[in-house]
Structure 1
């Protein structure tokens, strides 16, 4: 005779918390161990599901917040210098070394970088520079000069991928528009590069200027357009266009527009001095603008006389206290060369020496 095994499992017929009227109040119903185990397991599953849902919601919120902060450029990290590229955007800075870069380097040495650069991370894991060309150049020079590993990485704001090329250009331009040392020639060069870039939608210079410099005033955009015209007329003959003041550039444009021969004469004049310095080029341009009125009126330029005067110079050597001082004198310029750091001389003493020098020449 076989025995029957009976498991005493009692499931309530009524909803939780509602007692059958047939059961007197205060009377506890008997529950078997299996019913208790099933009830406990269901409670555990519900708690786990609630916890997982809460974690997913928190992760989604954090992901959206990360994207929002990236779009604003507020996520900052230390990025290796060798992972940063400068190829996506045509820079609005001259390729010539900034003479004020040493001051920026000294500031970074003393207090660090207070304003991070802005980069966009590529799918390959590299970073494309958007803002901060001078700051990046300063860090690279500091690393090269000191070998200090703290300059091997630079604080950088990480921009979210997906922004249009036009927006990235505007980010770069708008930051430099507030700087006093960005020249009209540099802005004009950027407009030319932007128009020539096949990935942009600009079909002419005016559209490029309107897109890039939309935050600038109308008059400033007109000046940029004028410098574009001047650079087009001069071609590659200007070695230091970024150093040209606004007034000088506008004067040269006005002169060359009146007389095509004036532009040709100026190009020849500059071509005769291929090894000129920045100061020499500015002197040539100023002299040309001041004397160009007669040439524009007559539609001819006395290039032979101006070139002869530009080439005329006096060179001599003077021995002073055992030191050899080399002197070069040209039209409007005197240059002294000797092994001495004149920047270390007190400014007042230097002024007195110059006054004495001029006084001796006049006497």
Structure 2
């Protein structure tokens, strides 16, 4: 009689005889365990991929910021969103004669060298490319072509040091054929007056701004800063003063500082419709006085004119005399921005010279 098999008897496969001693047999896994293992492996792979993507994005972001700091990211910027107020331009007030030549080149082949702008709260602040921007604005005004409404520009990140922005502008303009010593000196004088810069004097400003210029050229610019500081407000064609004449005038002023008043008086009392007339006046004073010859004093008038003007601040009392103009008003003019005050006086003198 055969032996009955119990219901709960389970037959296990015999262990294979060829398993090496000390080796545990493979553990059997169910479907759920296999799914969990596969999901964990997929999750780990995904996390590794995300980490690699984040690292790559960080690298590209740092690279983008670095390129932007250097102004190498270029985009088309609307010309009406570009301002030139942060930096004092080393430009004569008259229109640049080479703008027309530049406009013809832009119409023929486009703009090969983008301007440089710094991001600002109102738009973009111009760093380099004043002539190129002027050409685009004139072309858009003349043609109405939307192609000139936006200009290729290198986008610089906000927050660059002011001295660095000035140096960029100066380095670009040093290659210009027409930039005068007076224009470069005016920039140094204005830079030294700017409270945001660390220039102690105009000479110090020249060393900071014109690093790429030779030592001799910097010396010439420093001499012209003396000329601009003494005569800048009465000169109408300062950019036309040749190097030799400027140096001679500075030497005369160093030998006789009181000569400043005589030159100012002569310029203010001379009609100067062109640069040649003004240069003729300056050349008279640049001639050295022979040894033993006392300089002939300039005849001064004793006449005086006084008048009053009613202003919102009160009554302005004005006195005009030979070599002197005085305005008395109940207002603290020292509170005004120096650059703004200088521009107002310059406009006032220009009006009198017309």
Question: What is the SS of the residue equivalent to 1:273?
Answer: coil
**In the TM superposition, what is the alpha-carbon distance from 1:302 to its structure 2 partner?**
6.9
Counterpart-to-counterpart distance in 1, 2:239 and 2:151: 28
The 5 Å alignment of 1:65-144 reads: 65-122=63-120, 124=121, 126-144=123-141
**In the TM superposition, what is the alpha-carbon distance from 1:158 to its structure 2 partner?**
1.3
Answer 1 or 2: which has greater helix percent: 1
TM-score normalised per structure 1: 0.71
**In the TM superposition, what is the alpha-carbon distance from 1:249 to its structure 2 partner?**
1.1
The superposition leaves residues 61-118 of structure 1 with CA deviations (integer Å, 9 ceiling, x where unpaired) of 1011112212222111111111111111111222221111110111111111111111
Question: What is the SS of the residue equivalent to 2:153?
Answer: strand
The superposition leaves residues 249-303 of structure 1 with CA deviations (integer Å, 9 ceiling, x where unpaired) of 112222343345644343233223345223432344345545x646994311677
1:241 and 2:238 correspond: yes
TM-score normalised per structure 2: 0.72
The superposition leaves residues 192-235 of structure 1 with CA deviations (integer Å, 9 ceiling, x where unpaired) of 11111011111222221111112222221211111111122224
Q: Comparing 208-217 with 108-117, which one deviates more in the overlay?
A: 208-217
User: What is the aligned partner in structure 2 of residue 308 from structure 1?
Assistant: none
Aligned with 1:21 (options 20, 23, 42): 23
Counterpart-to-counterpart distance in 1, 2:132 and 2:215: 30
Counterpart-to-counterpart distance in 2, 1:263 and 1:293: 15
Name the CA shift for 1:52/1:125 in 2 (closer, same or farther; >3 Å): farther
User: What is the aligned partner in structure 1 of residue 12 from structure 2?
Assistant: none
User: What is the aligned partner in structure 1 of residue 306 from structure 2?
Assistant: none
User: What is the aligned partner in structure 1 of residue 55 from structure 2?
Assistant: 57
Counterpart-to-counterpart distance in 1, 2:29 and 2:137: 76
Counterpart-to-counterpart distance in 2, 1:32 and 1:20: 25
Q: Matched residue pairs, number?
A: 281
User: What is the aligned partner in structure 1 of residue 319 from structure 2?
Assistant: none
Name the CA shift for 1:20/1:31 in 2 (closer, same or farther; >3 Å): farther
Q: Unaligned 5+ residue runs, structure 1? A: 1-18, 305-363
Aligned with 1:300 (options 261, 285, 296): 296
Q: Unaligned 5+ residue runs, structure 2? A: 1-20, 301-354
Contact 1:295/1:301 (8 A) holds in 2: no
Question: What is the SS of the residue equivalent to 1:103?
Answer: helix
Contact 2:289/2:295 (8 A) holds in 1: no
Counterpart-to-counterpart distance in 2, 1:235 and 1:39: 83
Contact 1:295/1:302 (8 A) holds in 2: no
Counterpart-to-counterpart distance in 2, 1:20 and 1:55: 45
Q: Please provide the CA RMSD for this pair.
A: 2.6
